[in-house]
């Protein structure tokens, strides 16, 4: 005999009541249908046709039902995303201008990696209200899918109109930085620092520019100064370790990362950075161990996971474990067939395994993907192989 789950029944009952909200006023029974209509004593009636007092009561019930649906959706989002989706859509059905429900859908679909769907939801919401948080979210998503021109147009307007100015200016600066427009990027980051001095990202961004300009001492000093004022900030601690590593201060960097500790590390970047430091010190086995800690944490990010496996391949190559190097590079290619370095690494491993034809194929693919500087090194070799 199957056991009835009372919690499930209760949840379903709540859903039913929240979707088909019934309430009574004198001798009238009312069921909410959508933002324009109700079922009044079994007949459909436009809300706009109701007397003012009753219309006010209906609208109050719509507002409370939408809020309850939103709260239930947020509670169910992590474990029961389908129920969350249903509840949020029911809220929008009752009030098409209920922006918090759209924000809930944005959170839901962005969490599932459905970027274009998320942008569509934001565009639907913006019809009803030019919400500054949704505008910023759209700009971030556009930048994520390489539509930088559209993203930049959005944030430029937000900075000019003082909407989410520090965050918008930061994204503006990041896009300029990616375009190698350092002067404009620095100006944007200055706006972030001025309008929101506590925003760590602005200091990080300025430090990155200093690093790119070869001013490592200034970059380290900038972050060191900020860290001294915010020693409990683990994000700051991580970035300070990064700049210490870039400056060649490996022992200092490792000490800072050790202070984070594995248990407190909520992002794989800590292990990745440790692996890079180990690699630069020719500690290849230790580097592999640290890179492997990133695998589970990057499970939903195929491009970053591909970079991890590509780096593991290089470590195995340095250890002269060429079969493992080949296998790791192949995993990287499976995850990201556009990663030129992975083809280069697999080609190197295959060349050592005397798989000459395959190695040439990999190297040639690496060149097609942009590693043109290896062409003079392998063209003659691969021509000889193809003639044999």
pLDDT digits (tens, 9 = 90+) for 106-115: 888 888 888 8
Residue 23 bridge partners (DSSP):
30
- Residue 83 CA to residue 12 CA, distance in Å, equals 10
Mean pLDDT, to the nearest integer, of 303-320? 94
Residues 6+ apart with CB under 8 A from 222: 203, 206, 207, 210
Alpha helices in 112-213, H assignment, sequence order: 115-126, 132-144, 148-160, 165-178, 182-195, 200-212
- Residue 236 CA to residue 268 CA, distance in Å, equals 15
- Residue 259 CA to residue 252 CA, distance in Å, equals 11
Q: What is the pLDDT of residue 197?
A: 67
Residue 24 bridge partners (DSSP):
29
Mean pLDDT, to the nearest integer, of 377-386? 67
Would you mind telling me the total number of residues written for the chain in this entry?
Answer: 388
Does residue 161 or residue 335 have the better pLDDT? 335
Find which of 29-43, 181-195, 264-278, 356-370 is predicted with most confidence, using mean pLDDT. Answer: 356-370
Q: Which two tokens stand for residue 353?
A: 């395994």
Q: Which two tokens stand for residue 184?
A: 């404009």
Q: What is the pLDDT of residue 214?
A: 81
Q: Which residue has the tokens 């994520």?
A: 144
Yes or no: say if 99 and 134 are a contact pair by the CB < 8 Å rule.
yes
| Nearest of 185, 231, 232 to residue 204 by alpha carbon | 185
| Nearest of 202, 210, 192 to residue 226 by alpha carbon | 202
Q: What is the pLDDT of residue 10?
A: 38
Q: Kindly report the average pLDDT of the chain as a whole number.
A: 80
Q: What is the pLDDT of residue 261?
A: 61
Say whether domain 1-129 belongs to CATH 1.25.40. Answer: yes
Mean pLDDT, to the nearest integer, of 266-287? 86
Q: What is the pLDDT of residue 268?
A: 64
Does residue 356 or residue 46 have the better pLDDT? 356
Q: What is the pLDDT of residue 65?
A: 85
- Residue 194 CA to residue 182 CA, distance in Å, equals 18
Q: Which residue has the tokens 């050790």?
A: 258
Q: Cβ atoms within 10 A of the Cβ of 54, count?
A: 17
- For the CA atoms of 307, 312, 316, 317, what is the dihedral angle to 10 degrees? 20
Q: Which two tokens stand for residue 6?
A: 């009372």
Asked if the model's pLDDT at residue 259 lies above 60, the reply is yes
State pLDDT tens for residues 7-51: 443 344 344 444 344 444 444 566 777 667 777 777 777 877 777
């Amino acid at each position: 005999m199957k056991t009835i789950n009372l919690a499930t029944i209760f949840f379903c009952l709540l859903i039913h009541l929240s979707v088909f909200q019934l309430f009574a006023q004198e001798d009238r029974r009312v069921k909410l249908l959508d933002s324009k209509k109700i079922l009044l004593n079994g007949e459909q009636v436009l809300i706009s046709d109701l007397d003012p007092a009753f219309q006010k009561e209906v609208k109050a019930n719509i507002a409370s039902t939408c809020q309850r649906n939103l709260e239930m959706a947020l509670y169910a989002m992590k474990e029961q995303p389908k129920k969350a989706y249903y509840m949020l859509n029911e809220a929008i059905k009752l009030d098409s201008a209920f922006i918090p429900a759209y924000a809930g859908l944005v959170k839901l679909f962005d969490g599932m990696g459905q970027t274009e769907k998320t942008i569509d939801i934001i565009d639907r919401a913006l019809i009803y209200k030019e919400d500054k948080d949704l505008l910023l979210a759209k700009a971030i998503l556009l930048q994520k899918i390489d539509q930088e021109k559209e993203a930049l147009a959005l944030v430029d307007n937000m900075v000019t109109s003082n909407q989410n100015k520090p965050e918008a200016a930061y994204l503006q600066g990041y896009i300029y930085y990616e375009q190698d427009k350092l002067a404009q990027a620095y100006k944007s980051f200055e706006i972030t620092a001025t309008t929101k001095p506590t925003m760590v990202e602005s200091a990080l961004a300025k430090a990155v520019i200093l690093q790119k300009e070869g001013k490592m001492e200034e970059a380290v000093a900038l972050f060191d100064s900020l860290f001294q004022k915010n020693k409990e900030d683990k994000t700051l601690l991580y970035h300070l370790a990064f700049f210490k590593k870039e400056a060649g201060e490996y022992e200092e960097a490792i000490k800072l990362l050790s202070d984070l500790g594995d248990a407190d590390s909520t992002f794989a970047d800590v292990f990745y950075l440790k692996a890079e430091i180990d690699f630069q010190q020719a500690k290849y086995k230790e580097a592999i161990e640290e890179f492997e800690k990133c695998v589970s944490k990057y499970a939903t990010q195929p491009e970053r996971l591909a970079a991890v496996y590509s780096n593991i391949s290089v470590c195995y190559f340095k250890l002269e474990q060429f079969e493992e190097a080949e296998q790791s590079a192949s995993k990287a290619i499976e995850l990201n067939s556009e990663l030129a370095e992975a083809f280069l690494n697999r080609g190197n491993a295959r060349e050592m395994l005397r798989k000459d034809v395959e190695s040439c194929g990999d190297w040639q693919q690496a060149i097609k993907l942009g590693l043109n500087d290896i062409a003079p090194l392998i063209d003659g070799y691969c021509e000889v192989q193809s003639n044999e």
